[in-house]
């Protein structure tokens, strides 16, 4: 009986230890990011407590829709540690994504976080692709939620005739974004052209055309 209890305790301890945010745990109450500090860390150095104010924990930039002026028809407004220094070491962040009718948040990944989207308004087609190339997609509307597992390629598309918006939550203070098309065709320095032509089984002219079009998509 005692051995069984010890075994169960060990198993539960292992499970609890494995359930954590992707960022390292905080070792103090507050570690407000000191972005002016010259030291390079995996994260940001902490401000002196005497220099911390309530504004370090506030950001009003996602309270209203963003101006959409990209050719993709979407705009992402991050509410991460770069905008809210108080998020440093807390392993959470948000973003607001606004979509014009027909707007697309093109295929991309977040290497450091799982993403959960909550639809503020409108209707979206969303989906992600697993490492075995299986697509999981869904149409979501106001008040509904969808999850994109960390590191997997995913997208959101507004197929409606009216604007749409979502609020995204991440289990990282800075989840990072890797856009598939921009990474391959707009890298600096550029990928060797023969890598792209062989990967996509197209000619150099097509690669150059894609590069030219992506260079105008801000």
Contacts of residue 21, defined as CB under 8 A and 6 or more positions apart, other chains included, come to: 91, 92, 171, 172
Write down all domains in the chain, each with its CATH number in brackets. Answer: 54-176 (2.60.120.10), 183-214 (no CATH)
Q: Can you give the pLDDT at residue 15?
A: 46
Q: Is 105 annotated as a binding residue?
A: yes
- How many C-beta atoms surround the C-beta of residue 47 within 10 A? 21
What are 102-153's pLDDT values in tens digits?
999 999 999 999 999 999 999 999 999 999 999 999 999 999 999 999 999 9
- Tokens (6 digits) for 73: 């028809």
37 appears as a binding residue in the annotation: no
Q: Which of 102, 179, 166 is nearest to 140 (CA)?
A: 166
Q: Is 158 annotated as a binding residue?
A: no
Whole-model pTM: value is 0.84
Tens digits of residue pLDDT in 178-193: 999 999 999 999 999 9
Sheet holding 178-179, edge to edge: 135-141, 123-129, 153-157, 104-109, 178-179
């Amino acid at each position: 009986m005692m051995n069984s209890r010890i075994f169960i305790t060990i198993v539960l301890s292992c499970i609890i230890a494995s359930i954590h945010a992707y960022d390292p745990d905080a070792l103090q109450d507050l570690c407000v990011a000191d972005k002016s500090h010259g030291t390079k860390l995996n994260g940001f150095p902490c401000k002196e407590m005497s220099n911390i104010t309530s504004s370090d924990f506030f950001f009003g930039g996602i309270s209203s829709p963003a101006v959409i002026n990209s050719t993709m028809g979407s705009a992402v407004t991050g509410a991460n540690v770069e905008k809210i220094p108080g998020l440093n070491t807390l392993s959470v962040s948000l973003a607001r994504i606004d979509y014009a009718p027909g707007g697309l948040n093109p295929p991309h990944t977040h290497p450091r976080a799982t993403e959960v989207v909550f639809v503020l308004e409108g209707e979206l087609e969303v989906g992600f692709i697993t490492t075995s190339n299986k697509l999981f997609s869904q149409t979501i509307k106001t008040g509904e939620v969808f999850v994109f597992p960390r590191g997997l390629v995913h997208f959101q598309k507004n197929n409606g005739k009216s604007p749409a918006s979502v609020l995204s939550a991440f289990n990282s203070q800075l989840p990072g974004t890797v856009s598939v098309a921009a990474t391959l065709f707009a890298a600096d320095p550029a990928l060797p052209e023969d890598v792209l032509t062989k990967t996509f089984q197209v000619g150099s002219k097509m690669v150059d055309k894609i590069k030219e079009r992506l260079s105008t998509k801000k």
